[in-house]
Amino acid sequence: MDPLHLLTLNVGSSSLKAALYAVNGGERRVLAASAERIGQPESRLRLRGEDDEVHLDRRLPLPDAEAALQVLLRWLQEHLPQRPLDAVGHRLVHGGPDAVEPQRITPALHQALGRVVPLDPDHLSQALRCIALLERLHPALPQVACFDTAFHAGLPEVARTYALPSSLREMGVRRYGFHGLSYESIVLALRALDPQAAEGRLVVAHLGSGASMAALHRGRSVDTSMGLTPLAGLVMGTRCGDVDPGALLYLMQVRELSAEALADALNRRSGLLGVSGTSPDMRELLAREEEDPRAGEAVALF
């Protein structure tokens, strides 16, 4: 029996990670792909094979995740024509209030996710464009959405509720939580290593360009640092994390920043990049922290 070939896609705000798996009883990773610094002048695409050998490592213009996916699909067609895709799985950052488990992507689901985009425009809009690209190129190809927010769907009411008037809470303003697929993976790994610890009280950190923490009990989320959007909580690569809401009102009402300018500042020009003035990459900042005071300040703040 020939194996099934499954492509998994993880679309970030400035990156795309992908892996091609051959599934036949077990699963075997055939290819790993990583596109970094998407939308910046020096985007980079790397492809590695089964034994970690490098198939491609190029700097090329990638204005968005859709462009990166197009390059990857062309490479697969040219170099691995014997491995046609049987299905695609997508990591989606936000699923809204109704997405509590993985789902086959249908026109109705695609439309519903479009209404969630304002809660996570940087990630979800790019992911939906990648889904639409695959629908155009391979209309019969099954696509499945796996949601980061689903892991936190069972948050206790006290953890998901903001102290806002009911009229605002009824608009859907609540804590969702993110990075759920990462937390779920950590729980599964810990259960294999130490089942008793996995069922206890845990604090777990997901650290990367986006960063969050979660409190878990018996493998379930009971609190988390992110909220309605992936902007809250810890200092991140280009996102600010927690800021006094009064500071944002001050910037809008007194300094007259528009909502668009504020959104750009908070999501794309804050965090490690905003404090250091040079880079959102912790690796670069650590290498320079001793001679660059602003890099050191960013590391200390994180």
Catalytic residues: 148
* Burial environment of residue 68 by CB neighbours within 10 A (0 to 12, 13 to 18, 19 or more): buried
Q: Pick from 278, 272, 301, 273: which is nearest to 291 by CA?
A: 278
Give the β-pairing of 87-92 and 4-11: parallel
| Residue 96, amino acid | G
Alpha-carbon separation of residue 102 from 47, 117, 189, 207 (angstroms)? 27, 18, 20, 24
